[in-house]
């Protein structure tokens, strides 16, 4: 069996992508104006990098939650199901 190897930089880049996408899918408006302003700026940044995330459904949400937890575990997180955003 052949295993493809990824370097740490590639793993961290994909981890960042998964984090951004999961955060976007979980993001909800906030009544605090300062927090809401920062949230909207963050959404703009995520959509600039990953415009396709607007079209994601429940399957995609579950997929990227799995990616996030798995990559964190691969990188040494003690919790193998850490999905914090």
Residue 82 lies in a domain: no
Whether the predicted pLDDT of 48 surpasses 80: yes
Residue 2 lies in a domain: no
Question: Based on the structure, what is the number of domains in the chain?
Answer: 1
Residue 8 lies in a domain: no
Q: What is the pLDDT of residue 6?
A: 86
* Tokens of residue 66, six digits: 């799995």
Distant-in-sequence contacts of 24-33, Cβ < 8 A, 24+ apart: 24/50, 24/53, 25/53, 25/56, 25/60, 25/61, 25/64, 26/85
Q: What is the mean pLDDT of residues 27-54?
A: 95
Residue 50 lies in a domain: yes
Residue 83 lies in a domain: no
Q: What is the pLDDT of residue 2?
A: 67
Residue-number span of the structural domain to which 17 is assigned: 13-74
Q: What is the pLDDT of residue 80?
A: 64
Q: What is the mean pLDDT of residues 4-15?
A: 90
Q: The whole model's pTM is what?
A: 0.82
């Amino acid at each position: 069996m052949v295993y493809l190897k990824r370097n740490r930089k590639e793993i961290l880049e994909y981890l960042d992508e998964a984090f951004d996408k999961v955060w976007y899918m979980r993001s909800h408006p906030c009544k605090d104006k300062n927090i809401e302003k920062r949230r909207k700026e963050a959404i703009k940044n995520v959509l600039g990098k990953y415009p396709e995330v607007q079209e994601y459904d429940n399957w995609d949400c579950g997929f990227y939650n799995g990616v996030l937890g798995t990559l964190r575990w691969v990188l040494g997180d003690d919790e193998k199901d850490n999905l914090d955003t």
